[in-house]
Amino acid sequence: MSFSWLTCSLLLGTLCAGYSLGEAETRECVYYNDNWRTERTNQSGFERCEGEKDKRLHCYSSWLNSSGTIKLVKKGCWLDDFNCYDRQECVSMEENPQVFFCCCEGNYCNERFTHLPDLIGIGNRVKIRPPPRVPSLLNVLVYSLLPLCVLSLALVLALWMYRHRKPPYGHVDLSEDPGLTPPSPSVGLKPLQLLEIKARGRFGCVWKAQLMSEYVAVKVFPVQDKQSWINERDIFLTPGMRHENLLRYIAAEKHGSNLETELWLITEFHERGSLTDHLKGNTVSWGDLCHIAETMSRGLAYLHEDIPSYKGEGPKPTIAHRDFKSKNVMVRDDLSAIIGDFGLAVRFEPGKPPGDTHGQVGTRRYMAPEVLEGAINFQRDSFLRIDMYAMGLVLWELVSRCTVTDVGEYMLPFEEEIGQHPTLEDLQDVVVHKKMRPAIKDCWLKHPGLNQMCETIEECWDHDAEARLSAGCVEERIGQISRTTSSTTSDSPVSIVTSLTNEDLPPKESST
């Protein structure tokens, strides 16, 4: 046995030596962009390749072949892809692709590109394969010790895959098999490369992906959730939906056929993830709390607003989110909040029916009392007030992680009262019948800013829906609280400052 392992070690050493000879370091690639005018880039030249440490870099080419006429689409650098390993020439192996694609290793290896499909001999057709590059002596060693070494390499590969594919966010259910990586086709002839799963939700999983030089998020819906994909795509395509505190839409695509169909929604990507993820791993200062809360309420206020035609676009209708929660709020690097996940959102356009306004939808924990007891008035304002109840719970999550008071472990709303997996009956009993809300600690009320923030929270989750604040009023209040306390409030647990009076705050207003 020791002899076998020694022999395998020698073989692995030989393989490594062969690899070091075969792998060509890629630092620069030939660059070309047929769509350079629209994308405002250079048309051709050279591209310096940059990537993450310990990952390999490659060059690529993509082109079209229309009846024998070759039209070059793009050339440039490509991220670590095992399909490109040890390829010194750029060769496309697919039979009849819509867009030809090849990748290789070595500086400027994509200057020339060819199509060499792996054809199976039928009649006059012959099987064409690229010539082997491995030395004959190495072949002998590989075949003689193949079983033992394959097992060893499989274990190493399994460990590598686990470390690189493990979803880093806390809310991902690791017990679920993420499945095989879907293919990475093109978005408008731009190569799109899926990298790793970042999250799982009710309607599918979210991948981090590379679209040219930009990281993007790809939300993958199974075909049975087609209606949610259509709804979210249509919400994103609504006129006026571009706002700094709403998630930026890029594209929607359909892949595969029949039962294997997948529906993709491509948006901007944020490395920090959701507000849930951020609060699980981090506390927030008073300044951070105000910034996140103000930008979050600004995004929801804009979503709720009815805006006339602007800059050539049609009028933006009022939109109710209907699944507002901390998991559906993304966080930028500067801690600005961005609202996303519009799969359950509904538009209220004048003269048109609002579509599916089934009452009891959303995430159970964040459901307003009237939703839990099925007593919704199916009017525009009623749905906006449901969003505001959930906004109060998210603001409570923020306050619970603020460093100006004693900070405990992150907990979801009602987790302390009824646990992590409450039933509908549990919430109906606590929220509707007992009229309970997440606990507001006495120490929070001793801080002048948090005291006013807690008053705002209580007015957001008021049991009487018509008494709740509007998102615009919350934005205005938080801005005023932040400005009034910024010069006098420290992030220490004890801060003796004159509290704001109720008259200092913007008054309640209708959530219309």
Known catalytic residues are 323
CA distance 194 to 199: 14
CA distance 8 to 18: 15
Residue listed under structure tokens 């909040």: 337
Helix ranges restricted to H, 145-270: 146-165, 226-236
Burial of 49 (0-12, 13-18, 19+ CB in 10 A): middle
The answer to whether 429 touches 474, Cβ cutoff 8 Å, is no
396's tokens: 């409570």
CB atoms within 10 A of CB 254: 13
CA distance 412 to 397: 7
The answer to whether 169 touches 198, Cβ cutoff 8 Å, is yes
CA distance 471 to 171: 27
- Quote the DSSP letter at residue 242: -
The answer to whether 347 touches 238, Cβ cutoff 8 Å, is yes
Q: In what order do the strands lie in the sheet with 28-33?
A: 44-48, 28-33, 69-78, 58-66, 100-104
Give exposure, 145-171, as e/b (b: 16+ Cβ within 10 Å): beeebeeeeeeeeeeeeeeeeebebee
